[in-house]
Amino acid sequence: MTRPLSVALAGLGTVGAGVLTLLRQNAEVIAARAGRPIAVTAVAARDRTRDRGVPLSGLHWFDDPVALATDPSVDVVVEVIGGAEGAARAVVQAAIAAGKPVVTANKALLAVHGAALATEAERAGVPLGFEAAVAGGIPVIKALREGLAGNRIARVAGILNGTCNYILTVMRERGREFAEVLHEAQKLGYAEADPSFDVDGIDAAHKLAILAALAFGRPVAFGAVHVEGIRHVSALDIAFAGELGYRIKLLGLARQTEAGIEARVHPCMVPESAPLARVDGVFNAVVAEGDFVGRIMLEGRGAGAGPTASAVVADLVDIARRRLTPVWGAHSGALSDVPSVPMTAHVGCYYLRLMVVDRPGVIADVTAALRDAGISLESMLQRGRSPGEAVPVVLVTHETREAAMRDALARIAALDAVLEDPAVIRIEPA
């Protein structure tokens, strides 16, 4: 019998335990597809006594994950520790330096250090698999890097964070505010005790940086991604979005323009008829547009033990079959040096909600500020009259440049009749 592929797990949390369970439960079908058995033989984890819901007897335990990565009896290292620095980075670098293939589910590590790690893996001639780093069980990495290899990609967009999608879905369905729904999501386990990486858009930005590198064939550039989260999205804005025929989603968007690559994460108003608008709850989805294939969409669970383990094992099967694909789809010398486009150059339509004192002349002052910034209006909503009281006014603009909108917002916020910072949400076409 062909010798099993010996796998070392650095990290034995939810994902690590999921990988161990999947490899054991589906061992026969995995062996058939990989051409040889795949078995976890060693692990590195901090707490040996914790019950992880899976038998651990017979595994070689390491207290030092770097020692695990350099063990001669290990064929491939799976890193599921997490984080851009510390043990996770040290394990991956040590494994590559030892000439061992690596599989990681670590989007932060790849977004921040992916260019350097790819170069190291290329020099060592070893695979660096990361299907599990973006969108959980959805095979979006293989789709972009391999399935669409014959296409020039014009745009990639997606719902890349299940926590934010769940919160926005519940806010829309129940008319509840962000803070209340976030607290509920934490109790249900959909949000971390410290939810900042999720709700402030950083997690989605890590994933978008990876997708943009694959889609446009250039080194990963996390620092060039414009990032906004969902803390400022209110139930009122979600209700107005529905009235206007939109749903609010936190999207990661990257596209090729004449000036370079635009990459941004922020709340968007998406037409209710758009496929992404109908992706609800904790689900993720990615849309890619290629010059020959047209538009494709992949949807599924973006996190959790099962989906993420599924993606990890897919990379292990490739390694067992000795498939070696360049990390970013092409060798480092063939990657593009196309520049990043600043957010101020973005052109699009905008939703603008103001809380203003209901008195004569207020709308004239607001529209004058927009006019002076060169922005024209498509529509306006104002519900009821409450002279002297605060009322919401909603404005939808025609296409304009981000820099012009920022100028107009500064002018509008300075008006004494405007009672709070304007709420601004960019509108994305279907």
Q: What is the pLDDT of residues 266-317, one digit of tens each?
A: 999 999 999 999 999 999 999 999 999 999 999 998 888 899 999 999 999 9
The pair of structure tokens assigned to 66 is: 């770097």
Q: Please give the model's pTM, rounded to 2 decimal places.
A: 0.94
pLDDT of residue 384: 65
Residue with the bigger pLDDT between 64 and 251: it is 251
pLDDT, tens only, 247-273: 999 999 999 999 999 999 999 999 999
3-state helix, strand, coil in the chain (%, to 5): 40, 25, 35
pLDDT, tens only, 105-124: 999 999 999 999 999 999 99
Instruction: Specify whether the CB–CB gap between 199 and 163 falls below 8 A.
Output: yes
Catalytic residues: 207
CA 26/CA 121 separation, integer angstroms: 29
pLDDT, tens only, 153-207: 999 999 999 999 999 999 999 999 999 999 998 988 888 889 999 999 999 999 9
* Amino acid occupying residue 72: P
* Amino acid occupying residue 216: F
pLDDT of residue 238: 97
Q: Strand order in 102-104's β-sheet?
A: 60-62, 38-44, 5-10, 76-79, 102-104, 128-129
Please choose, from the candidates 101, 89, 91, 41, the residue with its C-alpha nearest in 3D space to the C-alpha of residue 66.
91
pLDDT, tens only, 373-422: 999 999 998 876 677 788 899 999 999 999 999 999 999 999 999 999 99
Instruction: Specify whether the CB–CB gap between 181 and 198 falls below 8 A.
Output: no
pLDDT of residue 190: 83
Domains and CATH numbers, the chain: 5-133 (3.40.50.720), 140-301 (3.30.360.10), 344-427 (3.30.70.260)
